[in-house]
Chains A and B, each alone.
Chain A
Amino acid sequence: MDLHIHTVLSPCAELDMGAPDIISRCRKEDIDLIAITDHNSALNCEALVKASSGSGVEVICGLEVQSSEDIHVLCLMPDLGKARAFEEWVRKRLPPFRNIPGKFGDQIVIDEENHVIDEFEFLLVQGIDATADEIIEETRYFGGLSILAHIDRPAYSYVAVLGMIPENLEVDAVELSGRLSASEALLWLEKAGERPVVRSSDAHTLKDISQTRATTALLEEPSFYELGLALKGIDGRRVLWPWGQDNY
């Protein structure tokens, strides 16, 4: 599974991140559960869900929310409806700073065949008016799953900004970057505490999506619900240590 993938909606993502393109890349890489997590928005989730129909790739609708402290939190929602409602909550807190496509990149809303429906007006790569802790709590309130994004990065990471993850923080998982080597990843394990660790691509272009940046989980079937069980280690479902499989 790869729980952190951007589309053409995120201004920093490449224009190859279209709906059928992402699905076909995932099939090629044998990844059957993904989360679409554009910055502060879920506007392309419907396109990806429709494009995935019959493909064998299950799409979870999510967002990568940027907090007021510039911390990234992946917020995965149980379904498209909840993702849209959560996006409303985020949108109300997004400063109305207009995007400048030439400077920041395009923010394109597409349908499942990559037809352009709209361009989102306000800059998505901004911190919203909510702290990381508040975003995590709100995600839980919506029935979603929250993941601290790329805690190993020197920027936009909970650990870089706030130094440590409080023991009582009710976040569902912690993400380490797909780019880390096995030995580097082990050094970060300590910061995760008892929480499950996932590895993701944070894909901004198609070639970022790869088995070597994915995570294996033991699930009855690829679904949001099963993922929730795996993150809690319930009934035999679990997330495997991502660097256990590879030799690099």
Chain B
Amino acid sequence: MKIRDILENLEGVTIHVAAGEDAETTRGFVGDLLSFVMGSAPEKALWVTIQNHVNVAAVALLKEVPLVLLASGRAPSPELRDQCHREGIALASVDMDSFEVCGRLYAMGVHN
């Protein structure tokens, strides 16, 4: 699915960085501990997290994450937003919590 379509199919989305929205992804990952994510996340997977520290951008770059989705309405730190903008990583917040948004994504066909 295209990133753009995924975001359009979710409610309560706020887009912070619009980038690479034509990119396709079929994989997803959820995790808030960055060491864990660095060690376990698959490549090119959409990432659901509540972690809004600037280091998220570095990990997203490492793992070629096309979209960072901040759950529970978490806003990115200004540093994270700026870094995602610089690196061309799509960044959005969604009101629903991680569990709910993962469920919706899975139902859309995003799974590993």
Structural contact, B55 and A164, CB atoms closer than 8 A = yes
Structural contact, A69 and B51, CB atoms closer than 8 A = yes
B18 at the interface (CB under 8 A from A): no
Structural contact, B54 and A160, CB atoms closer than 8 A = no
Could you say which residues of chain B place their CB within 8 Å of the CB of A162? 34, 51, 53, 55
The residue from A131, A133, A154, A163 contacting B34, defined by CB atoms under 8 A apart: A163
Chain A 122-162 residues near chain B, CB threshold 8 A = 131, 133, 154, 159-162
A102 at the interface (CB under 8 A from B): no
The residue from A131, A154, A159 contacting B53, defined by CB atoms under 8 A apart: A131
Chain B 55-106 residues near chain A, CB threshold 8 A = 55, 58-59
Tell me what chain B mostly uses at the interface: helix, strand, loop, or mixed. Answer: helix
B37 at the interface (CB under 8 A from A): yes
B35 at the interface (CB under 8 A from A): yes
Give, as a whole number of angstroms, the nearest-CB distance from A172 to chain B: 20
Could you say which residues of chain B place their CB within 8 Å of the CB of A154? 35
Structural contact, B35 and A160, CB atoms closer than 8 A = yes
Measured in the bound complex, the distance between the Cα atoms of B36 and A160 in whole Å is 7
Structural contact, B55 and A69, CB atoms closer than 8 A = no
Could you say which residues of chain A place their CB within 8 Å of the CB of B34? 160-164
Measured in the bound complex, the distance between the Cα atoms of B55 and A64 in whole Å is 23
B33 at the interface (CB under 8 A from A): yes
Give, as a whole number of angstroms, the nearest-CB distance from A190 to chain B: 14
Measured in the bound complex, the distance between the Cα atoms of B58 and A163 in whole Å is 9
Chain A 7-31 residues near chain B, CB threshold 8 A = none
Measured in the bound complex, the distance between the Cα atoms of B102 and A228 in whole Å is 47
The residue from B32, B33, B51, B58 contacting A164, defined by CB atoms under 8 A apart: B58
A166 at the interface (CB under 8 A from B): yes
Could you say which residues of chain A place their CB within 8 Å of the CB of B55? 162-164, 166
Q: CB within 8 Å of A: which residues of B?
A: 32-38, 51, 53-55, 58-59
* A-B interface, 6 closest residue pairs, ranked by CB to CB distance from nearest: A163-B34, A162-B55, A160-B35, A163-B55, A162-B34, A163-B35
Apart from A69-B51, A160-B34, A164-B55, list 16 A-B contacts with CB within 8 A: A69-B53, A154-B35, A159-B35, A160-B33, A160-B35, A161-B32, A161-B51, A162-B55, A163-B35, A163-B38, A163-B55, A163-B59, A164-B34, A164-B58, A166-B54, A166-B55
